[in-house]
Amino acid sequence: MKMLHTCIRVQHLDKSLAFYKEAFGFKEKKMLDYPEHKFSIVYLGLENDDYELELTYNYDHEPYNIGDGYGHIALGVDEFEELHDKQVAAGFTVTDYKGLPDSSVRYYFVTDPDGYKIEVIQNK
């Protein structure tokens, strides 16, 4: 068994696609559109990684209530500080660096157009 993808529902597909492509370099792997059912699905992926992010777009949907149950989707990066600086310069909502007590793990969060938090963790 293996993990395949994580699905989030997005209000504006074009804004979400632009965000994930610009902020993280995601590429579109597959786009499924069902006008008769008024929804689309786009699978996004990173180079050298089979795990995908699935964006579900329901036509003309109100803003989603993400609630307090959602935590984050995490990405591991080598160019940690460079990516942080690039995302800040691009005007994305980015936190300062964070860390866990008694741990050398460094991470920060970027918020996507719907308010989903994406955690960026510095690869060891």
Ligand X SMILES: C[C@@H](O)C(=O)SC[C@H](NC(=O)CC[C@H](N)C(=O)O)C(=O)NCC(=O)O
Interacting residues with Ni ion (CB under 5 A): 7, 54
Q: In whole angstroms, how close is the CB of 50 to ligand X at the nearest point? A: 14
Residues 6-35 that bind ligand X (CB under 6 A): 7, 9
Question: Among 1, 6, 117, 110, which Cα is nearest to 51's?
Answer: 6
Cβ nearer to Ni ion, comparing 7 with 66:
7
Round to the nearest angstrom and report the end-to-end CA distance of the chain.
26
Q: In whole angstroms, how close is the CB of 98 to Ni ion at the nearest point? A: 30
CA distance 34 to 74: 29
Cβ nearer to ligand X, comparing 7 with 31:
7
Q: Which of 8, 29, 39, 121 binds ligand X (CB under 6 A)?
A: 39
The SS3 assignment for 22 reads helix
Cβ nearer to ligand X, comparing 40 with 95:
40
Bridge partners, 43 (sequence order): 30, 54
The SS3 assignment for 17 reads helix
Active site residue 119: yes
Q: What are phi and psi of 110, to 5 degrees?
A: -120, 140
Question: Which residues carry out catalysis?
Answer: 119
Interface positions with ligand X (CB under 6 A)? 7, 9, 39, 54, 56, 58
